[in-house]
A and B are shown apart, each in its own frame.
Chain A
Amino acid sequence: MSLYFRQLAALVLKDLRLELRRRETVAGVLVFVLLVLVLFQFALDLERAEAARLTPGLLWITLLFAGLLALGRAFAAEYDQGTLDGLRLAPVDRSTIYLSKVIATVLFLSLVELVALPAFAAALDAPLLTPGVLVTVFLGTLGLAAAGTLFAAAAVQARARDVLLPLLVLPLLAPLLIAAVHATADLMAGAAVPWSAPWWELLVGLCVLFLGAAVLLFDALLEE
């Protein structure tokens, strides 16, 4: 068991080290998120009251597309430089490779959200920095990473991978979007921490579904 975790840690550290050296993913995605925030202002010209109603939706659409950008890069380096074979030959359980990518993606997106959430909160004057919202954002990011990493492994080996990945992932993540937006809206409106709210249960259920299915099915995607 501890071998599994050590292997997992090694793979996660590899991705973190690569990102630390080149700083492409986090910086690029962060700038994208901030840009989208500005573009929303141009497109929607939000007044105070409208902004409150629309903020959860805007936030989550932005996070969803930012996540897809980050996921597009998840296996890209390995595939383009031919080190995907190295991963295939590594004496680790295939699920380790999958989980390490999920953890790395969640970490990268969390770094982005660390800056993005305060930016959204300030720009839209929204109470987004409460523990409830942070938990929701974490769960949503985890679900997004779980589903996205699975299909990123398929998309990276296909043609037009940037176009294909959103097509594969977005229909599956529709319930995640619904749940995350409504949980955020409820929390913003002042609901107490909703442990028994259907939305959080839905988010957790989705994470469990995607993680569970992926651990079983990832092998089929990584085969030669």
Chain B
Amino acid sequence: MDKQLVLQETAPPSVGPRVAATQLREDRALRLLLGLAAIAMVVALYAIFVYAPTERVMGHVQRIFYVHVSLAWLSYLAFFVVFACSVGYLWRRDERWDAVARASAEIGVVFTTLFILSGALWGRPVWGTWWTWDARLTTTALLWFLYVAYLMLRAYVPDTARAARYAAVLGIVGFLDVPIIHMSVVWWRTLHPEPTVARLDSGPAAPPEMVITLVLASLAFGLLYLALLIVRVRLERLRDEVRQLEQALSLRGE
């Protein structure tokens, strides 16, 4: 009865020669990107440990600064990507936007975690404490919680289309809230100044070697982010294909 109609309307996705060629090109591009990222990382590590001068006050511990700040920029960038792709998804309802948003959130939470941990590792020898409730740290903690909320929302909503929509709303509202979070936390700390005044920069005028090292480190992490993003999006796309095939098979089987 209705089965015939369904079979005619649902054709399984075809993996024809054109699609295969595109995938081959993508594979090569991805491998190139991964290679570039690896090289950039090696160059950055050299710059961090050998090229950059040793800081006067903090000594070698200061070198964590290059990793820490790079991770910071990428955490913010990743969250912006989540926001942009959330807007894109709600506007276009194309799953690819959602896949990028989700991938960016997953990478972003890892980068934010590392950002916080590297800060703690730096803070312990320099300030004598693992954590302090100054403006930047508090804002970062809240950013971490926003990321985790995004991922948990996706985990707790079983239907993928719905999860994508809900997560998109959280991505948008969360991002819009970030400047307000930052403002409120800064006001909180300036109106009630904390006991230790910490300086996260390297001093009044950073020598050019430090700036170059920072740029190199940021580029390396940026390429890493991009590579991970693409790998993750491809994984999501393959999962979608598997799901479609399973659906088509189950319909045929009945």
Residues in A lying within 8 Å of B, measured CB to CB: 147, 150-151, 154, 157-160, 164, 167-168, 170-172, 174-175, 178-179, 182, 198-199, 202, 205-206, 209-210, 213-214, 217, 220-221, 223
B166 partner residues in chain A, CB cutoff 8 A: 154, 157-158, 220-221
State whether the Cβ of B126 lies closer than 8 Å to any Cβ in chain A: no
**In the assembled complex, how far is the CB of residue A64 from the closest CB belonging to chain B, in whole angstroms?**
15
**Using Cβ atoms and an 8 Å threshold, which residues of chain B touch A223?**
165
Q: How far is the CA of A172 from the CA of B149 in the complex (A)?
A: 10
Q: Choose among B157, B172, B185 the residue that contacts A158 (Cβ–Cβ < 8 A).
A: B157
> B residues engaging A (CB < 8 A)?
90, 142, 145-146, 148-149, 152-153, 156-158, 162, 165-166, 168-170, 172-174, 176-177, 180-181, 183-185, 187-188, 191
CB atoms of B153 and A220 under 8 A apart: no
8 A-B pairs (CB sep. < 8 Å): A151-B170, A154-B166, A154-B170, A167-B152, A170-B145, A171-B145, A174-B184, A202-B184
> Are A159 and B158 within 8 A (Cβ)?
yes
B188 touching A171, Cβ below 8 Å:
no
Q: Which of A151, A158, A178, A220 contacts B188 (CB 8 A)?
A: A178
- A150-B173, A159-B156, A164-B156 as given contacts; A202 in contact with B183, CB under 8 Å: yes
Bound CA–CA A178/B139 (angstroms): 12
Q: Tell whether A213 pairs with B180 under 8 Å between CB atoms, given A157-B162, A159-B158, A221-B166.
A: no
B176 touching A171, Cβ below 8 Å: no
Cβ–Cβ < 8 Å partners of B90 in chain A: 217, 220
Contact among A164, A167, A172, A179 with B177 in the assembled complex (CB-CB below 8 Å):
A172
In the complex, which residue of chain A has the Cβ closest to the Cβ of B155? A159
Q: Which residues of B contact A150 (CB under 8 A)?
A: 169, 173
- Give 10 new A-B contacts, CB below 8 A, not counting A168-B170, A171-B149, A217-B169: A160-B156, A168-B149, A172-B174, A175-B177, A175-B180, A178-B187, A182-B191, A210-B173, A217-B172, A217-B173
Residues of chain B within 8 A (CB-CB) of A175 are 177, 180-181, 183-185
**Within the assembled complex, what's the spacing in Å between the Cα atoms of A221 and B173?**
13
Closest chain A residue to B90, Cβ basis: A220
A221 CB contact (under 8 Å) in B146, B165, B177, B188: B165
**Do A168 and B153 have beta carbons less than 8 Å apart?**
yes
Q: Is the CB of B180 within 8 A of A202?
A: yes
Nearest-Cβ distance from residue A79 to partner chain B, whole angstroms = 13
Residue of A nearest to B164 (CB): A220
Q: How many Å from the CB of A75 to the closest CB on chain B?
A: 13
Closest chain-A Cβ to B145's Cβ sits at a distance in Å of 4
- Give Cα A22–Cα B200 distance, bound, in whole angstroms: 56
Question: Which residue of chain B lies nearest to A206 when distances are taken between CB atoms in the complex?
Answer: B180
Chain B residues within an 8 Å CB radius of A217: 90, 169, 172-173
CB–CB B153/A209 < 8 A: no
Contact partners of B184 in chain A: CB under 8 A? 174-175, 178-179, 202
Residues of B within 8 A of A198 (CB): 187
